[in-house]
Amino acid sequence: MKTASEPLKQNEDNILEVSHLKKYFPIKGGVFSNVVGQVKAVDDVSFSIKRGTTMGLVGESGCGKSTAGRTLLRLIDKTDGNVLFNGTDIYALSKKEMRTLRPKMQIIFQDPYSSLSPRLPIGEIIGEAVREHKLVPKDELDDYITKIMASCGLQTYHKDRYPHEFSGGQRQRICIARALALNPEFIVCDEPVSALDVSIQAQIINLLKDLQEEYGLTYLFISHDLSVVEHISDTVGVMYLGNIVEIGATEDIFANPLHPYTKALFSAIPMPDPDAKPNRIILEGSIPSPANPPAGCKFHTRCKDCMEICKTQEPIAKDMGNGHVVKCHLYN
């Protein structure tokens, strides 16, 4: 593991490099609120994202994918590891320096109903951060907001309206406009479409893709909907209990899933075709508690290919070619 004194290098093509990122939440208990345990939400996660591409992050709820998204934006502090954004270690920056970097990395939250302030008009929601960071001269701000709103499919007269006057799909457009207004390079999309209807989902996904082409954005797309992830991503990481168990190009992962968990996850997707006879691998039980994860490979309690070694030894990541990395004893 690299130490802070060692200079960190980053590949020019990559906008973001995450290495050995860890985030533990303390469990407090007892009379004096002592720390009695730790929830290992993100436990040693490493990946990198190429400029202008989309990385999908999938997994069951509680596997730490949202926490990973927030930790790499420094919205919550890390426990260990490094995050390099455009060559700078974001955890080495002071608060003030971090503030100047913030506009470059934005986030879109899952629930468009609770992530917009109900007391601000739309124009203010979108323009607040722009004004704060002085990205645009004061007299041009109004035109700038109109321009951003138009590119997200919102009308000019929406500017003076309040969030409650909008439907779910439009609110998600507002959230996207708010992130886009700061002219970011990198956006974390934390389940941006799971609260929306199917037809609205399609609109938002198309919008995200259009904006990516227009502004050259890089996305980290967090979702549990595998079909959406396959549609939008260039690379996919599969998370289980704080670990990335498999990562690689979307085509490789979907055509040839290697990890038993990925296989089970993909076989569980219902296909909209009545003739498709699913050859389903049903996982028994549910995800173990991240406060007390199983020893060895964390998936061994539910794995159908479990071996003796899995129960004691944690598997190491192995590259199976073409950047397709899998963490499983079956391939070692």
Binding positions for other proteins, rule: CB under 8 A:
60-61, 167, 169, 197-203, 205-206, 209, 224, 226-228, 230-231, 254, 264-274, 276, 278, 280, 282-283, 286-287
Q: 60 or 142, CB closer to other proteins?
A: 60
Q: How far is the CB of 264 from other proteins (least distance, A)?
A: 6
Q: What's phi and psi for 220, nearest 5 deg?
A: -110, 110
Q: How far is the CB of 13 from other proteins (least distance, A)?
A: 24
Q: How far is the CB of 60 from other proteins (least distance, A)?
A: 4
Residues 6+ apart with CB under 8 A from 233: 54, 55, 56, 221, 250
Q: 34 or 167, CB closer to other proteins?
A: 167
Taking alpha carbons only, the member of 283, 244, 249, 248 closest to residue 263 is 283
Q: How far is the CB of 237 from other proteins (least distance, A)?
A: 16
Where b means 16+ CB within 10 Å and e means fewer, 164-203 reads eebeebbbbbbbbbbbbbbbbbbbbbbbbbebbeeebbeb
Distance CA(200)–CA(264), nearest Å, equals 28
Helix (H, G, I), strand (E, B) or coil at 283: coil
Q: 289 or 332, CB closer to other proteins?
A: 289
61's tokens? 């709820």
Q: 16 or 247, CB closer to other proteins?
A: 247
Q: 206 or 332, CB closer to other proteins?
A: 206
Task: Write out the H or E segment, with its range, that includes residue 220.
Answer: strand 218-222
Q: How far is the CB of 14 from other proteins (least distance, A)?
A: 26
